Chain A
Amino acid sequence: MSQSGMNKAKITKFINNRLHFIPLAILAVWTIFPLLWAFSSSFKKPAEVYQTPPQLIPTDFNFANYMKVFEYDGFLRFLLNSIFLSVTTTVLAVIISILAGYGFARYAFRMRHILLMLILVPRIIPRASLIVPLFTGISALKLLDTYTALIITYVATAIPLGTWILAGFFKVIPKALEEAAQIDGAKPWQMIWYVVIPISLPAILTVSIFSLREAWNEFPFVLAFTTSSEMRTLPYQLFMLQESLGMQDWPMMLAFTLVTITPLLILYLIFEKRVVNGVTSGAVK
């Protein structure tokens, strides 16, 4: 190989090694920038966001916007609503999905396939599309503006994915332990509680995180099925903030936005691997 050929090869090799950093840099900026910009602006004074040229780092970090959020009329209520709905939904959806997943994974019974379809097919139904008939049904039951209506609908939308993930997991765990328990005379619920759940904690955790995320971020149902301000969740209130503030207090709104995002971000930092794997398997399976 000639000298110039060597150089050329070296140069292409160098470019090859560096080139993928360009999309990677774009990836990082594209992903993080909207959040970073909102984060930075959430510390600015209301007038400071109008200032040109824009500053990525605020002149002085003031936490007044976050104080405004926490002191906002009803904020605690919205926060508690969000926490209550997410946790209740998750607990119920996980319990129901464990039972159903176990039933489908371990038993052969009549109409199994039809029932499995009945539970899994609704995964393809987008929740927003259902709000009209659900609204008329809920109002006929006089359940508009209640936690009951929200919890029932939230749980129902969380069950298909939960059952899917858990049934898949239960199917691949060895039957030997359960068979031993069965010989000892354990009833099905004892088997689930003492044998299946302890070894399935990773899958249960994955299902819980997905259910928590879904309920925490939920918007169309709470928008359509509630009317009083006491029933609002954080995303709903964030939506209302946009509508109600005439002269928009952007820094306060951005602080509010970040407050709604932070709990999930923390959860994600702790369970990143599980979320990534769960998303991949949920998408591909």
Chain B
Amino acid sequence: MSVNQQVTAGPSTKSSTFRKKSVPYLLIFPAVLFVAGVLAYAVISGILLSFFQYDLNTIGRPFVWFQNYIYLFTNSAFLNSLMRSIIFVALSVIIGLILGLAFAISLYRTTKYGDFFKGLSLIPYLVSGVATAVMFRFMFASDVGLINMILDTFGLEQVLFLADPNWALFVTVLANVWGIVPFTVLILLSGIQAIDSELFEAAIVDGASKLNLLFKILLPLISPMMGIALIWLSFASFNMFDVILPLTGGGPLRATEYLAVYMYNVAFTEFQYSLGSTVMVVILFFNVTLSVIYLKIFKSAE
């Protein structure tokens, strides 16, 4: 492509300023087109759809006001899904935060091989949800599962992890945490690295114990980052879909049918599209709430 250097002879100033003014709009137009056309469209049309009845058994799309919402919040399967989601998120956040913190502190403290371990810790971030699910299913399976083989070797009774509602929930938590801890580690590590290390040294000279160092110095100083990690963990867990569907499909007995999976099942196995959209609105509502908290924490961190 050759650079066209010919200057058009005497362009009217009016049209050239218009052209200049339109440049930024032209630059951002494709992005706006895609994002608005797909994401904003989906959100708006989903909200609209939640006020209509649209499923395979209904002719047309009658407007039904809040009927879908009333149906959802009186429906035991949905309430069960909401309840299980909350348990799943709470456990994921607790385990994720403890592991993330332990890993971040130990990564901070290693001088040798620090980069190696840091690089290693991020690997699960690259693995797709489906692949994570297959690996965890394999480890927790009843016949070929490594965990059951280990239990067997110690003369313990086998556990049908994926057939028992509570164990299945626990396995989904583990698989989920495996995938989302790397991000948490990096967030917390960046928080710890920002602390002036002289603070630690001064405290050590003053004879502070390890627990004091942790609870009186480290945790208060990284509390903004802890907040971000916490919100991020709940955000990622609350919306988890990719790992759950291949791992348990929402079972057994809907024990792991968290909101996104419930929404998928309602829309694509029961073909109740408007009800699925209503679940989407509920999911987005939780996300917006979480994001507002996130922004508040982030603002105060700055």
Contacts and interface: CB of A to CB of B under 8 A. Distances in A.
A interacts with B:
yes
Most buried by B among A130, A137, A153, A155: A130
Interface in A19-73: 20-24, 26-28, 30-32, 34-35, 37-38, 41, 49-50, 52-54
A41 to B, nearest CB: 7
A34 B135 contact: yes
Given A31-B121, A128-B241, A219 B45 contact: no
Chain B binding surface SS class: helix
Contacts, number: 278
Contact of B126 (A124, A160, A250, A261): A261
Given A188-B27, A220-B241, A134 B38 contact: yes
B228 A284 contact: yes
A157 interface: yes
A272 B152 CA distance: 40
Contacts of B45: 133, 136-137
Contacts of B118: 276
Chain A binding surface SS class: helix
B2 to A, nearest CB: 11
Contacts of B31: 96-97, 99-100, 119, 159, 163
Contacts of A133: 41-43, 45-46, 49, 277, 280
A156 B25 contact: no
A190 B3 CA distance: 8
Contact of A257 (B27, B103, B135): B135
A272 B96 CA distance: 23
B78 interface: no
A52 B268 contact: no
Interface in B4-48: 4-5, 7, 21, 23-25, 27-28, 30-32, 34-43, 45-46
Interface string B254-274: 000000100110011000010
B53 to A, nearest CB: 13
A187 to B, nearest CB: 8
A242 interface: yes
A264 B152 CA distance: 36
For the side of the interface on A, what is the size category?
35 or more
B239 A128 contact: yes
B278 to A, nearest CB: 9
A160 B34 CA distance: 10
Interface stretch (A101-109, A172-180, A199-207): A101-109
Interface residues of B, number: 95
A49 B137 CA distance: 13
Interface string A243-285: 0000000100110010011001100100010011001100110
Most buried by A among B23, B36, B124: B23
B67 interface: no
B60 interface: no
A216 B225 CA distance: 30
Contacts of A279: 122, 125, 182-183, 186
B287 to A, nearest CB: 6
Given A23-B102, A99-B30, A254-B134, A125 B287 contact: yes
Nearest to A153: B38
B200 to A, nearest CB: 12
A132 interface: yes
A213 interface: yes
16 contacts: A31-B178, A37-B135, A53-B153, A102-B27, A128-B242, A132-B280, A133-B45, A156-B34, A159-B34, A224-B268, A235-B131, A238-B246, A250-B138, A254-B135, A261-B127, A276-B186
Q: Nearest 3 pairs between A and B by C-beta?
A: A103-B27, A217-B128, A156-B38
